[in-house]
Amino acid sequence: MTVAIMMILLGFGLVNYMRSLDKQKLYQIGATVESMLKDARSKAQNGFLGSDALGYCTQLQGVEVASTLVDGDVQVIGRLRCSDASTIVYETYAPELNNLAFDTQFQMTFLAKQGAAVLLGNSQVASGAATLTNQVGAVVFTLDQGGTINVSYE
C-alpha cells in the first residue's frame, strides 16, 4: 500500500516537473521574441542598412518583426523593409515547443525615424496584444505605434 501511494505521488511530481520545464521553455521563447523586437527597434533608430553578408538597403523604410506559421509551426522573422519595396531577412527564429501558438499573428514595423506600425491579424492598430501560448502558460506581447513593447508572463 505504501509503495502504491509513493508511486502515485511520484507520478504527480513527474507531471508537474514536466509542466514546469515546458513553462520555462515558453518563457525562454518569449524572452527571445522580446529581444528580437527590441533589437529591431534599435536597428531602426540607428538606421541599420544591412551587412555584407545580408546585402544592403539603399534607404531604410523600417525594421520589421513578424510572427508566421510554417507547416503549422510558429516562426518569428526579423527583416529590413527598404524604400524600394524590397526586404532583407536578417533573422529567423523557429522555437521548438509542442502546441505553441499565437492567438493572433503580429507584425511590428519600427519606422526609420520614430514610432512603429502595428498589425494584429490583418488589421493596423494603434496598440494591441498578441499572446503566445502553449498548454502550460502564456506570454503576452503588448505593442503600440509609439514603439513601446511590454511583455508579461502568465
Q: Report which of residues 67 and 99 the model is more confident about.
A: 67
The answer to whether the CB of 117 falls within 8 A of the CB of 111 is yes
Instruction: Name residues whose C-beta falls within 8 Å of residue 146's C-beta, 6 or more positions apart in sequence.
Output: 115, 116
How do residues 16-62 score in pLDDT, each as one tens digit?
Answer: 787 888 899 999 999 999 999 999 999 999 999 999 999 999 999 99
The domain that holds 85 is classified in CATH as 3.55.40
How do residues 135-145 score in pLDDT, each as one tens digit?
Answer: 889 999 999 99
pTM of the model: 0.89
pLDDT band at 4 (very low <50, low <70, confident <90, very high): confident
pLDDT band at 87 (very low <50, low <70, confident <90, very high): very high
pLDDT in the model for residue 20 = 83
Q: What is the mean pLDDT of residues 84-107?
A: 93
CA angle 138, 150, 95 (to 5 degrees): 45
Q: Which domain holds residue 64?
A: 2-153
Per the structure, how many domains does the chain have?
1
